Structure 1
């Protein structure tokens, strides 16, 4: 007769830790990529290792790119405001309706 064992608290804690750290998602995505390869690599472990390393770099690159996007958005907003101010000042000095000052 088989006995049912309830979930081990340490095991569950470790599983939650791996999920929270993104390990489960990374492993899943690498294994899916390996599964979807039309021609399976000779060394599956090397494939997994390379793709896990690439995933770690992507995370760091993504953070750097996100910071750059935020910086550029702020700069764009400042330049848009400056452009608006300069257009307002320019309208004071230019005649309207294309009339020329003679």
Structure 2
């Protein structure tokens, strides 16, 4: 808000002024885009690993004898 006070000519749109000074309209940093791509790749790997884990648990359950539940504990 100090920047607004120090402006010799007041802006027409307060919202545009705030966006400009808070960095909301700043151009994307290449590092940010690289990080977004990395996050997307990690999400895909995570989903694939969840599916593999589910498949392996099902397969393991097929080979394991059923567990007996103890009552009264």
Q: TM-score range by the shorter chain?
A: 0.5 to 0.7
Match of 1:29 among 9, 22, 27: 22
Q: Which position in structure 2 is the counterpart of 1:95?
A: 65
Number of aligned positions between the proteins: 49
Q: Deviation string for 1:3-25 (max 9, x for gaps)? A: xxxxxxxxxxxxxxxx8xxxx72
Instruction: Structure 1: give runs of 5+ residues left out of the alignment.
Output: 1-18, 31-54
Name the CA distance, whole Å, in 1 between partners of 2:60 and 2:54: 10
Higher RCO (Cα < 8 Å, 6 or more apart): 1
| RMSD (Å), alpha carbons | 2.5
Q: Does 1:81 align with 2:58?
A: no
In the other structure, the counterpart of 2:31 is 61
